[in-house]
Structure 1
Amino acid sequence: MKNALVILLLLCYNGLGFSQGEFIVQNKRKSDKIHFKFINNLIVIPVEINGVELSFLLDTGVSKPIIFNFLNLSDSLKIKDTERIYLRGLGEGESVEALKSKNNVFRVGDAVKFNQDLYAVFNADINFTPRLGVPVHGIIGYDLFKDLVVEISYSGKFIKLTEPEHYRYKNCRKCERSNLEFYNNKPYLNVSVKINNKEIPIKLLIDSGGSDSLWLFEDKDMGIQCGDKYFTDFLGHGLSGSVYGKRSRIQEFSIGNVVLKNANVAYPDSTSISYARQFKDRNGSLAGNILKRFNLIVDYPRGYITFKKNSYFNDPFSYNKSGIELAHDGMRFVKELDNVIRDDENSNLTDETHNGTKIVFDTRYKLSLKPAYTIVELREGSPADRAGLKIGDVILSINGKPSYHYTLQDLTHKFYDDEGTRIKLLVERYGRELTFEFRLEKLFE
């Protein structure tokens, strides 16, 4: 097509330009606090676009805001000045069709920008809501960070946005401040890892939109190699499809004088990250399961990031020992006891007579819509796979408790429990209810 463009989400818009205006904080303090939802190590913030309230991932790894499942939002958003383009991101798939739209009004708390570009994706399959279990309409990153000092309190579950000229740093002896480097509007940090007793300096993309701890790109010359203790797994879902790779652990991960031992690491398949590796100096990504252990001051205008340990710092590094990945798969009717009904003998049963036949209705129960959770990924050879579970199975209960009593995040955390923990699942498969049982297994200790 005449106006078709291919934009690599990992490589676009050079420099730290301010050509499209800026976010400004519209209050006297020039600062505002916004509470967020913390789901699977990811930050979900409220964002208003052209007067429509939506939920976005706060993702330092993206250059421009992207809206997913656009066809369901197109009427209310009333976007204009559009141009058809193609986007490319992580994953093994092809580029995806989208619209580039100019001159949109974005509001995050009291921070407003009046001429913001956005990218709207048509493909309804590119939708992170089922994987997170809460509504997520898009992602936002660079445009917010470039204009404001962004404090991220993972422990307090809020961000604070302040105009740079009004931000004052406090003395903090326990803080670790590092310089940021930028490549195509994305922040990079110099850190070090210890692998096979060798200290290796590396450069990582700061990726708050990733839920893992650390991704490393294997490089034999540098000594960045997985070793023998690993398992192959689903790593995540990018704009261009699923990402697979190897999971393992490293001896140490260091930011300045702060050291984390035995941190989780993933080594993504080279085919899934071919575009990410076009920045030759990049060695991987620093993601949410490490970032959450600190409260951060992200200061793009001055080129700094500040880390301060929080209450998550000493949380153990765990991983999914079942082999199951779940997604929210719509709603289903379930029969529940109606607690509103009085528990006396006359309130439980009613009867009617039709053509001489007596029909008894039990009014103690009601039908309610509850979330359904479905297996969408299943690691080959895992405990769940060996037990006979299959992709597409709907989880009805876990260890005797209905699955709808849990959020998706809480249900998934059951699979991160200790080695040997017994898991009993009741599932629905093609209309039949089946029971499976297995125990969680360690994989590389």
Structure 2
Amino acid sequence: MLRKNVIFFALLLIVPLMVMAQGYKLPKGEKHQKIRFELINNLIIIPVEINGTELTFILDSGVSKPILFNLSKSDSISINNVTEVTVQGLGGGEPMKALSSKGNIFELGDAKNFSQDLYVVLDRDINFSTSLGIPVHGIMGYDLFRDFIVEVNYASKRIILHNPERYTYRDRRKTQTIPLMVEGRKAYMQATVLMKDTANVPVKLLVDTGSSDALWLFHQPTKGLEVPEKNYEDLLGHGLSGDIFGKRSKINGIRIGDFELNEAKVAFPYRESFKGLDSLSDRNGSVGGELLKRFNMVFDYSRGLITLKKNGNFKEPFQYNLAGIDLQHNGLRYIAESIANGNGVVKSDEQDAFGNVQILLENKTRLSLVPEIVVSGIRAGSPAAEAGLREGDVILAVNGKRVHRYKLQEILKMLNEREGKRIKVLIERYNRDLLFTFVLKKMFDDD
């Protein structure tokens, strides 16, 4: 019989947790392990092998123990020493059932932990794969950052896990090393936010690579952290206990060390999303992937240091959901495409099939199994909402481009290309094809 406990989770996009530490090691004599990652929606997606099963996880510097939350019917994994627990995450929902497992083998290349604790969330509605466009099975972080000096190169999409005993700091041009405070298995940095209507405000921010957003600030008027007058309500993210809403705006900038980012995107989450946290203590907010990806970084938890260097993303403008549409994968669908010209000859650019081809009809029409992309949410008052788009609409094409040929994040980019852009969206609703047109508007008027 499973023993029941109660555990409280807290995180930005998913959750941090606190339990006894285990240990990762490299083979004797090895200085480091290099790992390639995918950067999707500002999140670091890494390959992980758990008890012999190959999975993919989000690397989150704000989470303590690994959390497994998305296993499909085809996935099979053995976990050890299981007890039942109840967990509470960010969002407005109720606590949920989960499993606590000890003594699992985690492998990231040659980096191995032979006694890793793991949590398994049983709610099948928690599925971040649909919004990222690839299978993602869980989230992990603190144990790796604790046991290695972790170098994250957002530019080359590579992580290097350095043996702390063999790592040497070097004087490198255009880098800066600043304090990193590790408290309760979470890392914090000091920064200064440049508010529009108040003086510059010093802040303590959670460093959260598991958040796809740029900057979250808590509404603390007594500290000078007031929501700017020009703002709008938005869905900020998804937690284990539900959606997280708040006010989105922009501030004059943020300064981290000697680096300054102007016109910074900011969100002020509603406090009810943090009911799983006992206390926010002296924390003023969080810094996430959309801001962090502008640097290549070296995390040194053992010495309490983080080294920053600007990369090619530094001057990129912050991205807003100008259209007001959220998308997600919704399983698969068949599409029929003509692959022959008027004379019945197969066109040269149709020789290679896209997707999982099932049927070829008279060598002229191809049926392909492709991802179905649906509207999962629409912001009230947005251009998409005013044009008449609805939640549940199936997206077929954007500006004449059939979406099944593109990744989910590429489709979102098409929908939010630039202010003033006219967008044409072909959708399917109740077996009818409908075309909607709208213009992307500025989120905030110039001051």
- The corresponding residue for 2:109 is 109
Change in 2 beyond 3 A, CA 1:347/1:137: closer
Change in 2 beyond 3 A, CA 1:347/1:392: closer
Change in 2 beyond 3 A, CA 1:96/1:407: same
Structure 1: gaps spanning 5 or more residues: 349-360
In structure 2, C-alpha distance between the alignment counterparts of 1:73 and 1:385, rounded to whole Å: 37
In structure 1, C-alpha distance between the alignment counterparts of 2:17 and 2:345, rounded to whole Å: 70
| Matched length | 426
- The corresponding residue for 2:432 is 432
Q: Is the 8 A contact 1:231 1:444 kept in 2?
A: no
In structure 1, C-alpha distance between the alignment counterparts of 2:245 and 2:198, rounded to whole Å: 27
- The corresponding residue for 2:355 is none
- The corresponding residue for 2:158 is 158
- The corresponding residue for 2:266 is 265
Change in 2 beyond 3 A, CA 1:347/1:209: closer
In structure 1, C-alpha distance between the alignment counterparts of 2:295 and 2:137, rounded to whole Å: 26
Change in 2 beyond 3 A, CA 1:443/1:277: farther
Higher mean C-alpha displacement, 43-52 vs 178-187: 178-187
Structure number with larger C-alpha Rg: 1
Change in 2 beyond 3 A, CA 1:24/1:347: closer
Matches within 5 A, 1:382-393: 382-393=382-393
User: How far apart are 1:258 and its partner, in Å?
Assistant: 0.8
- The corresponding residue for 2:357 is none
- The corresponding residue for 1:221 is 222
User: How far apart are 1:122 and its partner, in Å?
Assistant: 0.8
In structure 1, C-alpha distance between the alignment counterparts of 2:253 and 2:123, rounded to whole Å: 40
Which residue identity does 1:61 align to in structure 2?
A: G
In structure 2, C-alpha distance between the alignment counterparts of 1:413 and 1:276, rounded to whole Å: 34
Deviations along 1:21-80, one digit per CA (max 9) or x if unpaired, are x10112633311110001011100000000111000000111110011347477x31112
In structure 1, C-alpha distance between the alignment counterparts of 2:198 and 2:270, rounded to whole Å: 24
- The corresponding residue for 2:118 is 118
- The corresponding residue for 2:80 is 80
Please, what TM-score do these two structures have when normalized by structure 1? 0.91
In structure 1, C-alpha distance between the alignment counterparts of 2:176 and 2:10, rounded to whole Å: 30
In structure 2, C-alpha distance between the alignment counterparts of 1:256 and 1:370, rounded to whole Å: 46
Residue 401 (1) aligns with residue 394 (2): no
In structure 1, C-alpha distance between the alignment counterparts of 2:18 and 2:316, rounded to whole Å: 37
Structure 2: gaps spanning 5 or more residues: 348-360
Deviations along 1:339-368, one digit per CA (max 9) or x if unpaired, are xx79965889xxxxxxxxxxxx64211101
The sequence identity of aligned pairs, in percent, is 45
User: How far apart are 1:396 and its partner, in Å?
Assistant: 0.6
Matches within 5 A, 1:280-429: 280-338=281-339, 345=344, 362-429=362-429
Deviations along 1:93-152, one digit per CA (max 9) or x if unpaired, are 111211000000000121000000000111111010001001100001101110001100
Deviations along 1:342-399, one digit per CA (max 9) or x if unpaired, are 9965889xxxxxxxxxxxx642111011111111110011111111111000101111
In structure 2, C-alpha distance between the alignment counterparts of 1:329 and 1:86, rounded to whole Å: 29
Which residue identity does 1:296 align to in structure 2?
A: M
Deviations along 1:224-280, one digit per CA (max 9) or x if unpaired, are 011211111111111111011111111120111111110100111111123347132
Which residue identity does 2:18 align to in structure 1?
A: Y
Please, what TM-score do these two structures have when normalized by structure 2? 0.91
In structure 1, C-alpha distance between the alignment counterparts of 2:133 and 2:7, rounded to whole Å: 31
Higher mean C-alpha displacement, 267-276 vs 403-412: 267-276
User: How far apart are 1:172 and its partner, in Å?
Assistant: 1.7
Q: Is the 8 A contact 1:70 1:120 kept in 2?
A: no
- The corresponding residue for 1:247 is 248
Q: Is the 8 A contact 2:198 2:224 kept in 1?
A: no
Which residue identity does 2:201 align to in structure 1?
A: I
In structure 2, C-alpha distance between the alignment counterparts of 1:135 and 1:320, rounded to whole Å: 23
In structure 2, C-alpha distance between the alignment counterparts of 1:28 and 1:8, rounded to whole Å: 37
In structure 1, C-alpha distance between the alignment counterparts of 2:97 and 2:74, rounded to whole Å: 16
Change in 2 beyond 3 A, CA 1:369/1:345: closer
User: How far apart are 1:222 and its partner, in Å?
Assistant: 0.5
- Secondary structure of the 1:143 match is helix
Q: Is the 8 A contact 1:64 1:119 kept in 2?
A: yes
Q: Is the 8 A contact 1:189 1:204 kept in 2?
A: yes
Residue 179 (1) aligns with residue 184 (2): no
| Moved >4 Å (runs of 4+) | 341-348
- The corresponding residue for 2:352 is none
Q: Is the 8 A contact 2:3 2:84 kept in 1?
A: no
Which residue identity does 2:405 align to in structure 1?
A: H
- The corresponding residue for 1:13 is 18
In structure 2, C-alpha distance between the alignment counterparts of 1:97 and 1:187, rounded to whole Å: 27
